[in-house]
Chain A
Amino acid sequence: MHRTKLASVVAAGGLAVALALTSCSSPASPEEDHPTLRLGVITQLTSFAPWESAWANESPYLQAVYDTLLRAEPDGTITEGLATDWKWDESKTVLTLTLRDDVEFSDGTALTAQVAADNLARFRDGTSANASFLAGMTSAEAPDDTTLVITLAQPDPALPVYLSQNAGLVGSPAMFDSPDAKTTPIGSGPYVLDAKDTVVGSKYVYDANPDYWDADSVHYDTIQMAFYGDPTALMNAVKGGQVDAANLQSANQIADAEAAGFTAEKSEQSWSGFLLVDRDGTINPAMGDVRVRQAINYALDREGLLKALDNGLGTVTTQVFGTTTSAYDKKLDDRYPYDPEKAKALLAEAGYADGFTLVMPSNNFVPESVFAVYKEQLAAVGITVEWEATGDDLFGRMLGGTWAAFPFLLQTDPTSWQTIQFSMLPGSAWNTSHVADPTVIQLSEVVRSGEQADADAAAKELNTYVVEQAWYAPLYRPTSAFITAAGTQATVQVGNTVPYLWNIRPTE
């Protein structure tokens, strides 16, 4: 009797708790007018201070509170932002922008061209990963409140693109000397950070800015961005209906997300493969011979590697330029078909019939099996790979030109010039041996400062040249995916791994 009573009480209590918990975890009603967007984010925010900001996966955090001087359409076309008009001078070194005169920051300060100029200078001199975007800016001046004049030492056709990204973020001057600038944004963007409900590093809550100048870009009353560092936690949130949209850590999660009723917007934002950087043969004489570099390209079974390493999710390629750039040439996706015999013949022709040893860095964030597969494929044609274990020193040594070649996953930029600037010019960070090839330099100059048609033709020619010279041994462009739940839609952004915030919206 006593035990029965106890059991009844326990059961009733349990039921009450279960009902209470269930009631508080019910998903939002679909009839609601999409007041809240719950966005899953896979990268923690580096900083809200524009001059320290990162982009790519972090762009939603920043686009919520800031405007950029220019914006980019999903296809990469540059369009109006804070600037309504922009034009280059004849030398293509001076860009003049006309700014809106009706914009205020969330602290009530008005946007002026001087504030924008100060932001640009801070970005150039700051510690953003992309500070080098503005390294060539010699001055940013404001002849009047709405005119901003940016002067460059040399032409940079990608400047408007940079101004649509973190280099173009404009914060209130009150942030400049604030010790809290990294965590307390004062922008003119479509939302305002709700500091009370925000947990730095975990969850950011934004409320719509009622006075925003571009009301059409504001689709939600509130946006909650939750950081999911663990892929399992993200997928649990997806399956549990706790996010409306999210970027996935891996394309392998697409099937699970689709099974949970999500739609996957797929894109290719990077390329995986080898950078054969010692094109002069300074570190490893064999690598200075184009036939050896071509042999490496022929030795790699790209289809097999894509299947084995990324479940076939991606597109094999032998070029590093992205599909949306003017340099892209579909034919160059299969310039080096898998042909170990051809690879051996090229090695013999170059005087390495008995093969040679190539030292490359391994790391602890790529499974060891990946390095084993690479080693096996290159060994099959006579190239002995010695993997040198690295730790925190990997990037410093890699960019310092320690190795003749190394495997890596690198971004594909939206424009040809950005790709060139990133890894092909003598001063490019990812041309780690700083090889100066006259043909590359000459064609790059045309891409940089030529008329559009000439620049596009030069970009194509340059792409063909570096593929023929086997500067790289790309394997494939892996698929990345942004998923949306029923009721939410998103448009993929060229050159950015996450759709721009205003392109994530309720389903029409």
Chain B
Amino acid sequence: MLTVLTISVLGFYLLHLGARDTARRIVGDTADPTIVARKAHELGLDRPIIVQFFDWAGSALRGDMGRSWFSGQPVTDALASRLPVTLSLTIGAILVTAVVGTILGVLAATRRGRVDGSIQVGSFVGAAIPGFLVALILVLVFAVGLHWVPATGYITPETSITGWLSTIILPIIALSIGATASIAQQVRGSMLDALRLDYVRTLRARGIPNRRVTYDHVLRNSAGPALSVLGIQFIVMLGGAVVVEQVFSLPGLGQTAVSATIQGDIPLVMGLIVVTAVIVLLINLAVDLLQGWLNPKVRLS
């Protein structure tokens, strides 16, 4: 709660510092100054910042985040209609990252040799290529070239599950490639460390099958650090979604964040800040709980 409050105060103050001509941005560059002044008064921009903040905070505490200065839509409605798009994108990407990254990390750690080398090189390349470039290449190949999926836009799962998949699959791949590379490296490193530990040798000496040693013991012990990285990657993906949503023209929080920031739409940006802060807090909580499940020592500490 304190974190969200601090972020809100800071966000509000910084937004006002950077928004000196919000009314003009809303009514248009060529508008007459009297109309700009009229708009500024309508929005309450001619009041002291402290009054504006307490007005906003008071309403926000009652669940009313205000209305977008630009579109007039209630901020809660704007966020509610866009959050599912960003969440389906980031959750999809984090699932792909977790599964593919873990498989590649395990393969690299257990097979070594050429498989390890190839995965290492692939990881470096994957981590080095910017997400937007991956997104552009995917669009050009699979949407523009092959016409397998639409290049832009979003279809809700309620409308069509296959349609939804067709609009979300390329953004998920674009968003997950860098994170997958990072998780693969993390899992590989942790597993190689764990494989050298005495208990692994003991388990093998007791005749426990290699597969069980690898998956039930080594991977579980290595999963802790990877989970922490996965939590960080999820947060990074919220930022990456801004670019990916622009390229694929997805109506998510990222696209809104870009336009609302450019327009100086403070109520909407504040809503985005609060929602993002809450998501980040929830992710950290989830990661902590999962860490406890994976490693009982964490619960004791």
Contacts and interface: CB of A to CB of B under 8 A. Distances in A.
Given A44-B70, A131-B35, A392-B20, A17 B165 contact: yes
A143 interface: no
Given A17-B165, A200-B73, A230-B249, A399 B143 contact: no
Nearest to B248: A233
Interface string B135-156: 0100110011001111111010
A203 B39 CA distance: 26
B24 A396 contact: yes
B198 interface: no
A25 B147 contact: yes
Interface string A411-441: 1000000000000000001100000000000
B152 A233 contact: yes
B3 to A, nearest CB: 28
Nearest to B35: A131
A132 B71 contact: no
A424 to B, nearest CB: 15
Interface stretch (B25-33, B180-188, B287-295): B25-33
Contacts of A226: 152-153, 249
Contacts of A179: 67
Contacts of B249: 202, 226-230, 233, 237
Interface stretch (A45-53, A64-72, A213-221): A45-53
Main secondary structure of the interface of A (DSSP, over half): loop
A18 interface: yes
Q: Which of B32, B77, B143 gathers the greatest number of chain A CB atoms within 10 Å?
A: B32
Interface stretch (A239-247, A282-290, A491-499): A239-247
A25 B152 contact: no
A129 B153 CA distance: 30
Contact of A47 (B72, B78, B155): B72
B259 interface: yes
A202 B251 contact: yes
Interface in A125-184: 126-132, 135, 179-183
Contacts of B20: 391-393, 396
Given A46-B26, A233-B246, A18 B259 contact: no
B284 to A, nearest CB: 30
A389 interface: no
B239 interface: no
A202 B255 contact: yes
B296 interface: no
A236 interface: yes
Given A127-B27, A396-B33, A230 B246 contact: yes
Interface residues of A, number: 60
Interface string A381-405: 0000000000111111001100000
Interface in B227-251: 246-249, 251
Given A20-B162, A47-B72, A236-B144, A230 B247 contact: yes
Interface residues of B, number: 59
A126 B248 CA distance: 36
A22 interface: yes
A24 B42 CA distance: 46
A202 B153 CA distance: 9
A128 B20 CA distance: 20
Contacts of B82: 199
A366 interface: no
Contact of A128 (B21, B35, B73, B169): B35
A18 B148 contact: yes
A23 B139 contact: no
A376 B264 CA distance: 34
Given A128-B27, A392-B20, A201 B151 contact: no
A293 B177 CA distance: 57
A202 to B, nearest CB: 4
A202 B81 CA distance: 11
A199 B250 CA distance: 11
A393 B247 CA distance: 30
A134 to B, nearest CB: 11
A435 B6 CA distance: 50
A52 B259 CA distance: 19
Interface in B64-106: 67, 70-73, 77-78, 81-82
Contacts of A21: 148-149, 162, 165-166, 169
Contacts of A183: 71-73
A97 interface: no
Contacts of B204: none
Given A239-B144, A240-B144, A399 B33 contact: yes
Contacts of A410: 30
Contact of B30 (A48, A180, A400, A429): A429
Given A236-B151, A392-B21, A229 B165 contact: no
Interface string A448-479: 00000000000000000000000000000000
B202 interface: no
Given A392-B18, A396-B24, 13 more contacts: A22-B148, A23-B162, A24-B160, A25-B150, A52-B72, A127-B42, A182-B67, A183-B73, A200-B71, A202-B249, A237-B153, A237-B249, A396-B21
Interface of B: 18-22, 24-36, 38-39, 42, 67, 70-73, 77-78, 81-82, 136, 139-140, 143-144, 147-153, 155, 160, 162-163, 165-166, 169, 246-249, 251, 255-256, 258-259, 264
- Nearest 3 pairs between A and B by C-beta? A182-B72, A240-B151, A129-B28
21 contacts: A21-B162, A21-B166, A22-B149, A44-B71, A182-B67, A182-B71, A183-B71, A200-B77, A200-B78, A201-B78, A202-B251, A226-B152, A230-B246, A232-B136, A233-B151, A233-B152, A233-B248, A237-B151, A240-B147, A242-B153, A392-B21
